[in-house]
Amino acid sequence: MSKRRVLIFTRFERLWHWSQMALIMTLLVTGFAVHGLHQAIGFEVAVTWHTAAALALLLLWAFATFWLFTTGTWRHFLPTQKGLWSVARYYAFGIFKGEHHPYKKLYRRKHNPLQALAYLGLKVVLFPAIWISGLLYLGYGLWGGAGSSESLMWIAVVHTAAAFAILAFVITHVYLLTTGHSFREHVMPMVNGFDEVELTPEEEAYLEHDEPGKIR
């Protein structure tokens, strides 16, 4: 095995990542305004921006889901027990003792087991919960009727709880960017697509011969 800098995040993945980040931050800021937690934005403006950002994010997720399954990239998000507990232990204790990260990033698997599990939970639990509850809330005028206020309340509770869970994920994600390597080394792969990964001799030979633009 040898370490090389390889293009592991495609242009679409990087566009998806930064667009999603911008839209989620817009939704959090406008959502807090709707709940009255700040007055930086008026209520009506906050509702309009929140709805527009939500629909844009839903469209982005639809494209991303199609891309994940048509390219086979979904395999990177499959969790595995191999190495899971050592990575969990590292983030719980080892990172504060100066230990080295136990996971070596591979070309065929760019997320460590804990990352894959977290991203899978985000994509199959939190994201569906937020957009299903959001669409139900947005379409209340179509399905709501007499005696449905309690249902609307529970939809709002689910939507808000999912939003705070996503906020917790964002905070944790940003915090982890400050650990281990420098902040720049963590962020640059999502800017230019290149990251240092372990390659088998076969993978290295393939990239150098067939896709030289993807290896440095």
Parent domain of 170: 2-214
Mean pLDDT on 52-74:
92
State pTM to two decimals. 0.86
Is the per-residue pLDDT at 146 higher than 60? no
Number of folded domains that form the chain: 1
Burial 149-178 (b: 16+ CB within 10 A, else e): eeeeeebbebbeebbebbbebeeeeeeebe
Q: Which residues contact 47 (CB under 8 A, 6 or more apart)?
A: 30, 34
> Looking only at Cα atoms, what is the longest distance across the chain?
68
CATH value at residue 19 = 1.20.950.20
pLDDT tens, 88-121? 888 888 888 878 888 888 887 888 888 888 898 9
